[in-house]
Amino acid sequence: MATAYATGSPAPVTVRDCEPRDLDVVHALHVDAVLHSTAIWQEEPHPRAYFDGWLAERRAAGLPVLVAEVDGVVAGYVTYSAFRPHQGYRHTVEHSVYVVPAFRGRGVATVLMDALVAHARAAGMHVVMAGICSSNTGSIALHERLGFSVVGVLPEVGRKFDRWLDLTLMRLPLD
C-alpha cells in the first residue's frame, strides 16, 4: 500500500491491508491491551477465532484494517469504524491504533495514522474521533502531534483494574 520512514526507525515501515495471516499479531496486541492496560475498557480478551470474523465483517463493510510492517514483521495495526450507529454520524469514524511493544516510540503509530487518515479522507469522512483513557498521556500527545484536539473529558465513565477511568475525546476534522 505505502512505505514511509518512521522517525528513529532505520528500516522503512510498510503499510498494507491486514490479511488473515496477520491476525495472530492483532490478537496478541488485543490480549495485551485488555489484560495489561486501559487502552481497551474490556476485562476479558476475545479468543483468537473471534478475529477471523472481525476481519471478514470489516472487509465486507468497507472498513480499513491496516498493518505496519518493519523488515517483514508486523509492528502494529490501525482501524476505524462508525463513531455511533445512527445515520447522522455516517461521516464520523472512531479509530483504534496498536503497536507491538518492541516497535513503540519509533514512529510506527504515526505512519499507521497517516495512512488511516488518508483512507478516511478518500472515503469521504468528515471527522476522525479518538476516545483515549485520560491517563494515557503518550497517546494523547501523539494525537495532538497528528492534529487532533481535545473536545471533552468524560469523568469516571469507565471502570477497570478497580479504579474509575476518565475518557478524553479528541477530534480531527478532515475538510
| Chain-centroid distance, C-alpha 10 | 23
pLDDT mean for each 10 residues of the chain (175 residues): 55 95 98 97 98 98 97 98 97 98 95 98 98 98 98 99 99 97
The predicted pLDDT at position 11 comes to 79
What CATH class does 2-173 carry? alpha beta
Alpha carbon distance 4, 112 (integer Å): 10
Alpha carbon distance 104, 116 (integer Å): 18
Cell numbers representing residue 172 in the block? 480531527
In single-letter form, the type of residue at position 34 comes to V
| Chain-centroid distance, C-alpha 155 | 22
- Total-model pTM: 0.93
For the chain, the domains span 2-173
Alpha carbon distance 139, 104 (integer Å): 11
